[in-house]
Amino acid sequence: TSTRGSSTCNVVFYGCSIPGKGWVSLDTLSEDGGALGNARCADCGAGKYSLTGTECLDCPVGRQSTRVGHNDECFECVVGRYSDEEGLIDCKQCPVGTFQPNNGATTCTICAEGKYQDQTEAPFCEECAEGTYQPGAGMDVCEICAAGTYQNTRGATACKNCTAGSFQNLHGSAECKDC
C-alpha cells in the first residue's frame, strides 16, 4: 500500500495527476510501451525505476531492484554478485571458480592458476595450500601433490620433484625426507 496526496491504494494510484519518482503516469505507459489515457499512476515494477515519472527504465548493468513500488533507484550488486544485463530483479551469484570483490559489478573474475574458490558469491579466491597445486584457472579445488613430489609454498601451479638423496612416500606433502 502506498500513499500519494490524499489517496491510498495498492500498486496503481487513482487520481494521481502528477507522477513522481518511482511511478509513472498511465497516460504514458502501457504493456507495449504505448499510451493509455486515464489520470492514474502505476508503480514501476521490480527490475525497473523512474526518475521523471514519464517512463519506467530497466535497471542498468551492475544494479538491481527487487522492490515493487516507488522505485526511484536501482541498487548496486553486492560483493560476490553481478549483473550483466539490464532490468534484473536480483543480481546473479558469482559461480565457483570465480570471485568479485566490488559492489556494482557486471562480471565475475576467474580465479588465477594456483588459486581456487569452492563457494558461490565469493569476494576473493583462496591460494592452494602447501602440498597442493592448481595448474588451471577458474577451478574450485586444488590438486594434491603425488608421492615422490612436494610443494612448500602456497599458491603453486605445480609440485616439485624430490631431489637425489630424498624421498616422499606420502601424498600432499610440503617437504621431502632424507634417505
46-77 pLDDT tens trace: 888 887 777 788 999 999 988 766 667 889 99
Across all residues in the chain, what is the average pLDDT? 82
Q: Is the pLDDT of residue 39 over 60?
A: no
| Calpha distance 73→20 (Å, rounded) | 12
Residue 20: pLDDT band with limits 50, 70, 90: low
| Calpha distance 59→48 (Å, rounded) | 5
pLDDT of residue 85: 94
Q: Is the pLDDT of residue 17 over 60?
A: no
Q: Which residue has the higher pLDDT, 1 or 130?
A: 130
In this structure, are strands 12-14 and 40-43 parallel, antiparallel, or unpaired?
A: antiparallel
The alpha carbon of 85 is separated from its chain's Cα centroid by a whole number of angstroms, namely: 12
Average pLDDT over residues 127-140: 98
pLDDT of residue 56: 82
DSSP 136: S
What's the predicted TM-score (pTM) here?
0.72
pLDDT of residue 8: 33
Encode pLDDT of 92-123 as tens digits.
999 999 999 999 999 999 999 999 999 999 99
Q: How far, CA to CA in Å, does 91 sit from each of 42, 56, 75, 138, 175?
A: 24, 19, 10, 21, 44
pLDDT of residue 105: 96
| Calpha distance 177→4 (Å, rounded) | 78
Residues in the chain, overall count: 179
